[in-house]
Amino acid sequence: MQSVYEFLLWNNCGNNCTFCHQRNHERKIDDKILTLNQQIDSIEKCKSFLNKQFKEGNHILLVGGEIFDIVNEDVKKEFIALIKEIKDKLCLNKIDLLYINTNLLYKDIGLLDWFLALFEANGLLPRLKFATSYDILGRFTSKEHELLFYHNLKYITDTYKDLKVVVNTVLTNEACKRICEDKFGADYLLEYLKEQDKDTFTIKDWIEYFRVDINTIPYIRLDDDKAPQMPKKSTVFETLLHIDNLMPGYLKSYGDNIALKQPKLLYEYNKKEKDFVYCSSKLGECGHSVNFTRCFADSDRCYPCEIQKLIKYKTN
């Protein structure tokens, strides 16, 4: 099985999620934000890694913060050069798949448009794993932010028909509640869709309207005593069973995906080292990340392992 080499280029995400690992880490370390010269160096070191240390035939993932909301022209020039090099390596099958994470909270989508058009022109959209996130609490700092997200998401799925988009949704208590009540959406979703005159909006409706797949991911507790939105195991199970009822087969596919023991090698640019440093989490005895033992308010059981038990229970 191929490994995923993950490169965290910089921390500059515009989201407001209180459960974000990067944001929590950033609060504890004051010097996480990179200067423009350090951003350029991060890109150059990423290119160097791909040429000297990356094992050909594997996957790579690029993430920020936010990688497409670049204002400085020098940083943008270096980022475009990195993307072109990755494109060439994909065409030569030196890289198998490219994973991209973006928050879609920027008014100027010119760089994103250029990127997607480049991959479309080279027949690479099927080898692009494109992801964004949609969280009920904390995701948006304003109504304008939320409506901008819908606009950008609808634009890319309407414009690039062959692009498969995955939207990650953290299973907070509020998200579970709205999913089970068939009112899946943040505060201004129905206003955005008011012309459809809908009283309810299920997670299935959301998927079909925006032409995306939704990946429900666990709320990983950052601090032992600061997780007010962490759901109990029974709440998570009820939510996943509700989705499976709306979309038969979802639970089995979800369980197989989250239980996948694919090697993930996370590298983050370190200002002191002036290079990427390895910072993947440790694995438990079951082979999953130890972080998965911090996903239920009332249990320290491994999340993927418990989901597998739920699947067996449902099928018996």
Q: What is the mean pLDDT of the chain?
A: 89
Where residue 57 falls among pLDDT bands split at 50, 70, 90? very high
- Please give the average per-residue pLDDT across 195-213, as a whole number: 83
* 4-8 and 264-270 strand pairing: parallel
Structural contact between residues 12 and 65, judged by C-beta atoms closer than 8 angstroms: yes
The range of the structural domain enclosing residue 208 comes to 4-315
Instruction: For residue 113, give both structure tokens.
Output: 């448009």
The region of weakest confidence among 92-106, 146-160, 220-234, 276-290 is 220-234
> What pLDDT sits at residue 4?
95
**pLDDT 10s digits, 40-50:** 999 999 999 99
Query: How far, in Å, CA of 134 to CA of 234, rounded?
Result: 23
How far is Cα 240 from Cα 257, in angstroms, rounded to an integer?
A: 14
- Cα 199 to Cα 24, 148, 160, 183, 193, distances in angstroms: 36, 22, 30, 8, 11
CA distance 142 to 140: 6
| Residue-wise pLDDT tens digits, 124-166 | 999 999 999 998 877 888 899 999 999 999 999 999 999 999 9
Q: Kindly indicate the confidence band of residue 29, based on its pLDDT and cuts at 50, 70 and 90.
A: very low
pLDDT at 28: 44
DSSP lists the bridge partners of residue 62 as 7, 100
Angle at the Cα of 6 (from 186 to 39), degrees rounded to 5? 85
Residue with tokens 């995906």: 257
pLDDT band at 64 (very low <50, low <70, confident <90, very high): confident
Span 264-281, average pLDDT: 90
pLDDT, tens digit, for every residue of 187-200?
A: 888 788 776 666 66
pTM given for the model: 0.91
Quote the tokens at residue 95: 């890289």
How far is Cα 290 from Cα 268, in angstroms, rounded to an integer? 19
- Total domains in the chain come to 1
∠ CA 156-167-257, nearest 5°, is 130
How much of the chain, in percent, has pLDDT values that exceed 90?
A: 70
Any idea which of 32-36, 119-123, 250-254, 307-311 has the lowest mean pLDDT?
Answer: 32-36
